[in-house]
Amino acid sequence: MKLIKICAAVLTPLAMLLASPAWADSRQDAHRIGAFSGAMKYCIENDSDREGRYKMARLRAFKEVDDMSSRRKLDAIAARNLAYDRGRYLGRRLDRDHCRQLVKASEWRRFFN
């Protein structure tokens, strides 16, 4: 019984250390997708020429957020609201050109397949 407690005391922190990078990556991914969704909402209101593309990208990002765990959803929603309210995507001010670059960026092409 004592050996089991010792093993649990050693293995639990080790398991947490091994799992933390994946968890951090998933939180970063949730933040980026949420921020992208907020940026697309901001772009819809400020660049009506490409409104349809922004709406489609935002919808696809929303679907990806919808499949996330509760904690990751909260991170994505917070990032979405922050990006929209501030008019910034990952620290960079959103203007017409930046909005168009975001929709064309290779990392978001998966939304248009």
pLDDT in tens, 66-113: 889 889 999 999 999 999 999 999 889 999 999 999 888 755 655 544
More confident site: 84 or 7: 84
Per-residue pLDDT, 19: 46
**Closest to 62 measured CA to CA, from 47, 46, 84, 45:** 84
Query: What is the bridge-based pairing of β-strands 92-93 and 88-89?
Result: antiparallel
- Mean pLDDT score of the chain: 79
**Closest to 34 measured CA to CA, from 56, 8, 11, 58:** 58
Mean pLDDT of 17-45: 76
More confident site: 109 or 58: 58
- Asked if 33 contacts 39 with a C-beta cutoff of 8 angstroms, the reply is no
Does the reported pTM lie above 0.85?
Answer: no
- Give the pLDDT band of residue 21 (cuts 50, 70, 90): very low
- Asked if 89 contacts 98 with a C-beta cutoff of 8 angstroms, the reply is yes
